[in-house]
Amino acid sequence: MNEIKVGCCGFPKGKKKYFDQFELVEIQQTFYRPPFTGSAQKWREEIPEDFEFSLKAWQEITHLPSSPTYRKAGLEIPAGKEGNYGFFKPTEEVFEAWGKTRDIAQVLKAKIIVFQCPAKLAPSTQNIKNMRYFLTDIDRGDSIFVWEPGGKWSGNVVVPLCEDLDLVHCVDHLESKAAYSKPKYFRLHGGRVYRRQYSDDEVARLRELSNGEAYVLFNNMSMYGDALRFRQLIQSGR
């Protein structure tokens, strides 16, 4: 298969305008606080059948309650239960978070689920053990699991984990190379503060790196314009 799919991480424009321009979006809301299934069903019904959703797994699976993203989402964790969340811990709370993530993915017919991990999730023996237990215990169905490590994970750790757990290693491919990726799944962050607009040369280089089956998601401040330029470059056949 030789197909490059382009979209944004979230909706930088109104949904109708976005749906007119792209055929792919990565849903961000599911990371902060999953929507009601009725809302997800409405999204699915609003757009063409061939439009593709991917989505981020709920942060209660990957992030600790001390993360500022919990506060941003307004999540209230019961007192004394803080240690039961995040880092793929084999707890009832984490598995419930997976259940809600899975339910939304099924409603949206999203085959790709992204596990974006924080920098604090280091490649310790315990964290790796938790990952292996969680990702082999859950019912993933036909889902493709994309894993974006946030800390310093070496290739000799990433590759066997991806092979054993059937994971796609996600990177910003203009910054680093994926250690294990089939299909390719790139998230372009625009630097550390998300503000950088990609140059024409960078967009052209990204086109060269995206040969084969690839998902290219822009996640920077100028994501809409950058994604449009990249999509137009692909459509031009250059």
Instruction: Choose the most confident range, by mean pLDDT, from 143-147, 178-182, 200-204.
Output: 143-147
Instruction: Choose the most confident range, by mean pLDDT, from 40-44, 76-80, 129-133.
Output: 129-133
Calculate the alpha carbon distances from 105 to 27, 40, 52, 59, 202 in Å: 10, 9, 11, 15, 32
Could you give the count of Cα atoms lying within 13 Å of 52 in the half-sphere of its Cβ? 14
Q: pLDDT above 90 covers what percent of the chain?
A: 77
Taking residues 90-95, report their average pLDDT: 98
Residue 119 pLDDT level (bands cut at 50, 70, 90): very high
Residue 212 pLDDT level (bands cut at 50, 70, 90): confident
Q: How far apart are CA 26 and CA 9, in angstroms?
A: 5
If we measure between CA atoms, which residue out of 209, 220, 219, 222 comes closest to residue 233? 209
Residue 70 has φ and ψ, to the nearest 5°, of -65, -45
The backbone region for 184, taken as left when phi is positive above 0, alpha when psi lies in -120 to 50, beta otherwise, is beta
Query: Can you read off the two tokens belonging to residue 150?
Result: 């946030």
Under DSSP, the state recorded for 119 is T
| Packed helices 200-209 and 223-236: angle between N→C axes, nearest 10 degrees | 60
If we measure between CA atoms, which residue out of 78, 73, 49 comes closest to residue 59? 73
pLDDT of residue 151: 84
Residue 215 pLDDT level (bands cut at 50, 70, 90): very high
Residue 1 pLDDT level (bands cut at 50, 70, 90): very low
Considering only residues 189 and 195, tell me which one the structure prediction assigns the higher pLDDT.
Answer: 189
Helix (H, G, I), strand (E, B) or coil at 141: coil
Taking residues 4-22, report their average pLDDT: 93
4-9/214-218 β-pairing: parallel
Asked whether the predicted pLDDT for residue 204 surpasses 60, the reply is yes
Residue 89 pLDDT level (bands cut at 50, 70, 90): very high
Topology annotation, domain 4-236: TIM Barrel (3.20.20)
184-188/24-27 β-pairing: unpaired
Q: Which residue has the tokens 């790709």?
A: 112
pLDDT of residue 78: 94
Taking residues 115-119, report their average pLDDT: 96
Asked whether the predicted pLDDT for residue 2 surpasses 60, the reply is no
Asked whether the predicted pLDDT for residue 135 surpasses 80, the reply is yes
∠ CA 183-154-30, nearest 5°, is 50
